[in-house]
C-alpha cells in the first residue's frame, strides 16, 4: 500500500495524517508491522481499538512486534523486554516506553500522524 497523505484542520493548527494500512490487513493475526517514511510501526487491534506504537524497542532497537500480542503485552525479540499494549510502557523497566502514534480509523483505512507539531 502506498502512503497517502491527508491534511486535517484542528483548532490548534494543521496536522498531516498518512494512511499506513487497511483494517482488513489486520484480520489474519490482529497485528502487522510496516515501515512508513522512516517510521517502523506496530499496527494492531487491542480491546476493540486500533492502535499504533513504535516497533523499535527503546532498549537496543529490537523489533517489539515480532511475536504476537499475548496477555496484553508485546515481547521484544532481542532481550524479551515486555511492553503494555495499552500504554506502550515497558513492564520490566518502567522508564522505557514505546511511542504511541495518534491514529484515526476511517472505514477500512488506518491513518497516523507520523510527525508531531506539523
Q: Does domain 4-113 have CATH number 2.102.10.10?
A: yes
Measuring CA to CA, which residue among 105, 116, 115 is closest to residue 19?
Answer: 105
Decide: 101 and 112 in contact? Cβ < 8 Å. yes
For the chain, 118 residues long, give each residue's pLDDT as a single digit of tens.
554 554 443 434 456 899 999 999 998 889 999 999 999 999 999 999 999 999 999 999 999 999 999 999 999 999 999 999 999 999 989 999 999 999 999 999 999 999 876 4
Q: What is the pLDDT of residues 36-55, one digit of tens each?
A: 999 999 999 999 999 999 99
pLDDT value of residue 15 = 66
β partners of residue 5: 18
Amino acid at each position: 500500500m502506498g502512503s497517502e497523505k491527508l491534511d486535517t484542520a484542528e483548532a490548534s493548527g494543521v496536522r498531516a495524517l498518512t494512511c499506513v494500512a487497511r483494517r482488513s490487513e489486520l484480520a489474519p493475526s490482529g497485528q502487522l508491522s510496516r515501515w512508513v517514511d522512516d517510521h517502523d510501526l506496530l499496527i494492531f487491534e487491542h480491546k476493540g481499538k486500533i492502535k499504533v506504537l513504535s516497533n523499535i524497542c527503546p532498549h537496543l532497537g529490537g523489533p517489539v512486534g515480532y511475536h504476537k500480542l499475548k496477555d496484553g503485552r508485546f515481547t521484544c525479540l532481542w532481550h524479551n523486554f515486555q511492553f503494555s499494549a495499552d500504554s506502550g510502557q515497558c513492564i520490566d523497566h518502567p522508564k522505557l516506553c514505546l511511542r504511541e502514534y495518534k491514529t484515526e480509523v476511517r472505514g477500512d483505512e488506518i491513518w497516523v500522524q507520523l510527525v508531531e507539531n506539523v
